[in-house]
Chains A and B, each alone.
Chain A
Amino acid sequence: MTFRMAIRGIGLVAGFGCGNEAALNALHNGAAPNDVLSIQASTGGINYPVYQADPAPLKDFVPSGQLRRVNKYSRLAALAACLALQDAGRNIPCQCSDIAVIIASGYGASSTTFAFLDDVILQGDSFASPTLFSNSVHSAATSNVTILLQISGPSLTVTQFEMSAVAALLNARIWLEEKRVDSVLLGGVDQINQVLLYCYHGFFGDRIPHEITPLRYDLQTAVPGEGAAFMLLTADDGRIPPYGYIDMVSWEAFNNCTVPEDVLIIPGADGHRTCGLHYRKLLKAVDPANIKTFSQIYGCMPSGQMFDIALASIAAKNGLIPASFCSVKLDANGNLGLVHHS
């Protein structure tokens, strides 16, 4: 019998706001980019629509004095983690060691690294900030979540660009199956900043997208997004979970993979043309009525598959989509992650 993970709680923060009500609203009504960031390119000033996330509601869970040194990257993760725990009916802070924290991020705390470099470059090596440095490692979100929520269980940060979410999920499943812990607080978090937008411009040019159209596979319509999506997972212990089960997680080679039939497919297509063409090829035999994307709700980010799974689970709980679906995420290196939900 395959081991399945029960989803006990979900927490999200993204451009559409935070919490499951905001997420459900976005699922019903859609969600457009909520902000515009400006960058300088060689061709002049560029305004980039983005999905920008606000972690301010974290102060409802954690005293603001504890947050003074915590960077936005960590705050986004901590807010989504708190929302997931609250949704699952757990105490906050947890003060326990039987929860593991596993976080996936594509770009990590890049904004903090750049802030650190600002001081070094503009003022000198002696002006490097130890606080910024401590928070600039990819693991800062995981560390801050364990500290703020007082979780002393195992912790893990994985980074594998678009495959980060499935990588994290595989580890979560192992830890639950071997009973290393009773629960896993699993999340994905990524940030946007001017450097990222400058790179978007560098790669994709002056035509700035205002709307992601993921199923127009041959168009470059990616709009950068940031945020955090967390789930509280346990083993299937007989109690019916509010958000169903993740019953299969697998890492596949693109060339060797066929997507399952007779199940709703949630491709992680998010407007990037290179991957879009791969999705088109992968899904050509799938009835378009059986394909649904969510990236247009939260934006484009490497750990986006965590959002796909979380949003799809909320949608399924509210009858918007069937409980049986399969999230499919691929990268430009021929890797593919499949996550089946029931």
Chain B
Amino acid sequence: MDVKQRLKQVIIEDLALEDVCIDTIDDDGPIFGEGGLGLDSLDAVELVVIIQKHFGVQIKDMAKGREVFQSLNTLTAYIQENMGQ
């Protein structure tokens, strides 16, 4: 399974997003805030742990987090760049 697909799956499962369908997520759309997946600041720090757990990739602080959490695509790219390091 590719990184993006796996990423969507773990976000839905680990954040218990029952109402979100994996196939209808807008990959370029915002993850947080209005029009996003309905996630908030607590989800953001939880997402850091989720990424670490499933992909072994660290996000050092929330300044970095805000940068890479802009969309599924930006997050996928960051994970792919940093996997296996």
Contacts and interface: CB of A to CB of B under 8 A. Distances in A.
A123 B54 CA distance: 11
Given A130-B42, A131-B42, A134-B42, A68 B49 contact: no
Contacts of A64: 18-19
B5 interface: no
B53 A68 contact: no
Contacts of B49: 126-130
Given A130-B42, A134-B42, A69 B16 contact: yes
B36 interface: no
Nearest to B40: A69
Contact of A131 (B17, B38, B46, B52): B46
A127 B38 CA distance: 23
B52 A65 contact: no
A68 B52 contact: no
Contacts of B18: 64-65, 68
A64 B17 CA distance: 10
Overall SS of chain A's interface = helix
A64 B38 CA distance: 13
Interface string A114-139: 00000000010011111100100000
A69 to B, nearest CB: 7
Interface residues of A, number: 12
A69 B42 contact: yes
B25 interface: no
Contacts of A127: 49, 52-53
B46 A68 contact: no
A69 B16 CA distance: 7
B15 interface: yes
Contacts of B17: 68
Contact of B46 (A123, A126, A130): A130
Given A64-B18, A65-B38, A129 B46 contact: yes
A68 B42 contact: no
Nearest to B44: A130
B45 interface: yes
Contacts of B43: 131
A168 B71 CA distance: 47
Given A64-B18, A65-B19, A68-B17, A126 B52 contact: yes
Contact of A123 (B15, B19, B45, B53): B53
Contacts of B19: 64-65
Instruction: Pick from A126, A127, A131 the residue with the most CB of B within 10 Å.
Output: A131
Nearest to B53: A127
Interface in B14-46: 15-19, 38, 42-43, 45-46
Contacts of A134: 42
B52 to A, nearest CB: 6
B39 to A, nearest CB: 10
Contacts of A68: 15-18
Contacts of B52: 126-127
Contacts of A123: 53
Nearest to A70: B16
A130 B14 CA distance: 12
Contacts of A128: 49
A65 B15 CA distance: 11
The 4 closest A-B pairs by CB, nearest first: A68-B16, A130-B45, A131-B46, A130-B46
Given A68-B18, A128-B49, 13 more contacts: A64-B19, A65-B19, A68-B15, A68-B16, A69-B15, A123-B53, A126-B52, A127-B53, A129-B49, A130-B42, A130-B46, A130-B49, A131-B42
Interface of A: 64-65, 68-69, 123, 126-131, 134
13 contacts: A64-B19, A68-B17, A68-B18, A69-B15, A69-B16, A123-B53, A126-B52, A126-B58, A127-B49, A127-B52, A129-B49, A130-B45, A131-B42
